[in-house]
Structure 1
Amino acid sequence: MVIETYNLTKQFDGKGGFQNISLSVKEGEVFSFLGKNGAGKSTFIRTLVGILYPTSGNGLILGRPIGDVEARKKIGYLPELFQYHNWLTGYELLFNHGLLYKMKKNDIKKRIEEVLEIVGLKGHEHKKIKQYSKGMKQRIGLGCAILSDPELLFLDEPTSALDPVGRKHVRDIILKLKNQQKTIFLNTHLLSEVELISDRVAILDKGKIKKVGTINELMNSPVLLSIGNCNEKIINELKSFDPYLAKLENEIEMHVGNNELLPKIAECIIKNKGLLYMMKRKENVLEELFIKTVGEEDER
């Protein structure tokens, strides 16, 4: 495992932060921490990267204790709402970060060329950061985080301040890094981002993990059917796929884990003289699950 925590806790005078988190993150996966503002997501990342000391519990990063210097050399970190020196160019910023990583100058120059391609800023590296758009600033921040070619990358709300185009650019970069077998720990409150790029998700509420699993495990999105001439024989046969299906007039909601069963469900309806007007997976299931899990009140 790349990340392992055991009852890890960080509180401030006995308040806030997070409590008793035990989880594991596998190599090469995108693991998303999903929670409202103030749920403890950023505090958790800052503890894992060694900026904060845990109150209790322990953990391993790349097989070494939290805060270990050798492990930190293999970590990249993009904080939330970061600010870089506006008078520097993008190239100067990346070069200075390379020096902070204690990389050799020739290696820095070579790596900068690779990073600029990855984050899509080739041709903009000699502009001053004050001339960058929000999306470009976010991408140069990602460039700093991946400059040392880390094995593990922590991203704290990397798309929260961006428009849809900017979010797509950042999302594409994350998927590129995933294809390079990088392990990515992502903090976010944007449900759409989680669904599109995550392998596994943990829902954090008031500093505690409430649910954890793959997207499919958490969502278990039901199938919605609209059927004309829906008769008792159709209902009885559909119950062989889901004994607990719900029926409201001509619409049926049922849980079907395997998509390969959908043609058989359609066949069942048609052979019994039903008219199949619609068959689709229910949308916004993750949103429903999230709100049901954490509630709607503001935690800040």
Structure 2
Amino acid sequence: MTEPVSPIPEEHPIVLEVENLQKSYRTGFWLNQKITPLKSCSLRVHQGETFGLLGPNGAGKTTLLKTLLGLVSPSAGSGRIFGYPLGDRQVRQKIGYLPENPYFYDYLTGWEFLEFAAGLFQVPASVQRQRISLLLEMVGLPQKDARKKQMRRYSKGMLQRVGMAQALINDPDLVFLDEPMSGLDPLGRFQIREIIVSLRKQGKTIFFNSHVLSDVEAICDRVAILAQGELICQGSVMDLLGVTEAYHVQGKGGHIDGLQQWVNPLEIQGDRWQGTITMAPERFLTLVAEMGGQILKLQLARPSLEEFFVEQLRQRGIATSH
């Protein structure tokens, strides 16, 4: 189980900040139509923080990411990474990037591709072998597949693992991940989540967007919701979802009548029961066990990040299919 994260103190240095960032494009046959996928975005990310960017399809998440990386130029506003303006070449040695749909030279093996990526960052040849081996182990890609199999024969999940390894090949201080869990099975998702937690423990800063909101809730210090090109809210998960000492509980069996003093309101259906408690969950678990009952589910009595996300979009009349 992933350990709960502790918020990064705000006095930590700011690694990334943007003010009123905007991006517009001209489209149409005569380029007479203007679209603005990114509208006046402002945010800050602190050193060592894991920052999650959420939003429905077409919200502008990838546009924001590409603007931060200097792959596209902003139409208005400004931003800095490590104190340098967006797009400054001096920043690139210190960042890693995994795009949502990476394209690789598929005639290469995974190992050859990582050697190529290491060469772009001028990683010494004496360091490459050990670093690539460690990264392959970290992302869960077998050495045999990496060395012998061309990437054109890789599954989507294998390609995602290679992509994660190349994003870390230069030992970056700031890592951008665009849908890092995309195409992965539950085990792969767990591995990527654990990698992000491991990077955080090393003091690295992670900026990523994802549709897997349960993962974001579990590992992010702060999150922001982007919708129709605008940041509609941002803050720590605790700040957004609220602080509560109450828990929703579901159980079965035991001396159900005796639960009235602890569970309020208590709803009973057959041998199943549910309700809300405000006592320490450890103490309640002990009491239920002593009464011969069994806990089926226990969770904080607050909305999940997914419920909060959907409600924020509904309040603004935005379609909630994501």
TM-score, length-scaled by structure 1: 0.80
Q: Which amino acid aligns with 1:8?
A: L
Q: Which residue of 1 aligns with 2:190?
A: 168
Q: Which residue of 2 aligns with 1:37?
A: 57
Q: Higher mean Cα deviation, 122-131 or 178-187?
A: 122-131
Structure 2 stretches of 5 or more lacking a match?
A: 1-13, 27-33, 251-255, 269-273, 285-293
- Report the alpha carbon displacement of residue 249 of structure 1 after superposing the two structures with TM: 7.9
Can you list the C-alpha shifts for 1:178-199, whole angstroms capped at 9, x where unaligned?
2221110011121111112111
How many angstroms apart in 1 are the aligned matches of 2:215 and 2:266? 32
Q: Which residue of 2 aligns with 1:241?
A: none
Helix, strand or coil: the match of 1:138? helix
- Report the alpha carbon displacement of residue 96 of structure 1 after superposing the two structures with TM: 0.9
Residues 1:214 and 2:236 aligned together: yes
Q: How does 1:251-266 map to 2 (within 5 A)?
A: 262=280
How many angstroms apart in 2 are the aligned matches of 1:210 and 1:165? 32
Helix, strand or coil: the match of 2:198? helix
Q: Higher mean Cα deviation, 288-297 or 39-48?
A: 288-297
Can you list the C-alpha shifts for 1:117-143, whole angstroms capped at 9, x where unaligned?
322223432122123232221111011
Identical positions, percent:
40
Q: Paired residue for 2:86, among 66, 77, 86?
A: 66
Helix, strand or coil: the match of 2:70? coil
Q: Which residue of 2 aligns with 1:271?
A: none
Q: Paired residue for 2:125, among 78, 88, 105?
A: 105
Helix, strand or coil: the match of 2:239? helix
Residues 1:159 and 2:181 aligned together: yes
Residues 1:84 and 2:97 aligned together: no
Q: Which residue of 1 aligns with 2:145?
A: 124
Residues 1:200 and 2:216 aligned together: no
Q: Which residue of 1 aligns with 2:18?
A: 5
Helix, strand or coil: the match of 2:145? coil
Would the alpha carbon gap of residues 138 and 223 (structure 1) be closer, same or farther in structure 2, given more than 3 Å must change? same
Helix, strand or coil: the match of 1:139? helix
Residues 1:57 and 2:81 aligned together: no
Q: Which residue of 1 aligns with 2:253?
A: none
Q: How does 1:170-189 map to 2 (within 5 A)?
A: 170-189=192-211
Can you list the C-alpha shifts for 1:154-190, whole angstroms capped at 9, x where unaligned?
0001112222222112212222222221110011121
Q: Is the contact between residue 39 and residue 299 of structure 1 (CA under 8 Å) also seen in structure 2?
A: no
Residues 1:135 and 2:165 aligned together: no
How many angstroms apart in 2 are the aligned matches of 1:166 and 1:16? 35
Helix, strand or coil: the match of 1:3? strand
Q: Which residue of 1 aligns with 2:48?
A: 28
Q: Is the contact between residue 206 and residue 299 of structure 1 (CA under 8 Å) also seen in structure 2?
A: no
Q: Which amino acid aligns with 2:301?
A: K
How many angstroms apart in 2 are the aligned matches of 1:107 and 1:225? 52
Residues 1:286 and 2:308 aligned together: no
How many angstroms apart in 1 are the aligned matches of 2:161 and 2:303? 29
Q: Which amino acid aligns with 2:76?
A: S
- Report the alpha carbon displacement of residue 283 of structure 1 after superposing the two structures with TM: 6.8
Helix, strand or coil: the match of 1:73? helix
Q: Which amino acid aligns with 1:36?
A: P
Structure 1 stretches of 5 or more lacking a match?
A: 239-245, 267-276
How many angstroms apart in 2 are the aligned matches of 1:37 and 1:192? 17
- Report the alpha carbon displacement of residue 225 of structure 1 after superposing the two structures with TM: 6.8
- Report the alpha carbon displacement of residue 9 of structure 1 after superposing the two structures with TM: 1.2
How many angstroms apart in 1 are the aligned matches of 2:85 and 2:299? 47
Would the alpha carbon gap of residues 88 and 202 (structure 1) be closer, same or farther in structure 2, given more than 3 Å must change? same
Would the alpha carbon gap of residues 173 and 229 (structure 1) be closer, same or farther in structure 2, given more than 3 Å must change? closer
How many angstroms apart in 2 are the aligned matches of 1:230 and 1:190? 36
TM-score, length-scaled by structure 2: 0.75
Moved over 6 A (4+): 225-231, 246-254
Q: Which residue of 2 aligns with 1:272?
A: none
